[in-house]
Amino acid sequence: MDGIVVRVNGTERQITAPPDVPLLWVLRNTLELTGTKYGCGEGQCGACTVLLDRKTVRSCLTPLSEVAGKSVTTIEGLEQNGALHPVQQAFLREEAFQCGYCTSGMIVSAVALISSNRNPTDEDIVRMMNGNICRCGTYPRIVAAVRDAAQTAQKG
Partner 1 sequence: MGLGLDHDLASEIKQQVVTGGPRWFELDRRDFLKIFGGGILICACGADGLAQESGRTRSGPELPKDIAAWLYIAEDGHVTVFTGKVEVGQNIRTSLAQQVAEELRVSVESISMTMGDTDLVPWDAGTFGSRTTPTMAPQLRNMAVAARDVLVTLAATEWGVESSTLIAADGKITNPATKQSRNYGDLTRGQKLVKVIDSDPPLTPAMQWKIAGQAMPKVDGAAFVTGRHLYTSDLSRPGMLYGKILRPTGFKATLISLDDSAARKIPNVTSVRDGDFVGVAAPDLWTAEEALAALKVRWKAPSQISDRELFASLKTGSGASDAEPPRVTGSVAKALATADIKLEGSYSVAYIQHAPLEPRAALAEWNGDKLTVWTGTQRPFAVRDELAAAFRIPSQNVRVQVPDTGSAYGGKHPGDAAIEAARLAKAAGKPVKVVWTRQEEFTWAYFRPAGVIEIKSGALRDGTIIAWEHHNYNSGPAAMDTPYNIANKLIQFHPVEAPLRQGSYRGLAATANHFARESHMDELAHAAGIDPLQFRLKNTSDDRLRAVFEAVAEKAAWGKQKSGPSRGFGIAGGFEKGGHLATVAEVEVNPARALRIVRVVEAFECGAVVNPNGLRNQIEGSIMMGIGGAMFEAVRFENGRILNPHFSQYRVPRFRDLPQIEVVLVDRKDLASAGAGETPIVGVAPAIANAVFAATGVRLRAMPLKTS
Task: State which of residues 7, 13, 38, 66 lies at the interface with partner 1 (CB under 8 A).
Answer: 38
Q: Which residues contact 117 (CB under 8 A, 6 or more apart)?
A: 124, 128, 150
φ and ψ of 68, to 5 deg: -55, 130
Segment interacting with partner 1, rule: CB under 8 A, options 5-13, 35-43, 112-120, 147-155: 35-43
Write down the least CB distance from residue 127 to partner 1, Å. Answer: 8
Write down the least CB distance from residue 68 to partner 1, Å. Answer: 17
Binding of partner 1 by 153 (CB under 8 A): no
Q: Of 55 and 127, which CB lies nearer to partner 1 in the complex structure?
A: 127
Binding of partner 1 by 84 (CB under 8 A): yes
Helix-helix angle 122-129:139-155, to 10 degrees: 120
Stated as kind and residue range, the H or E segment containing 109 is helix 103-116
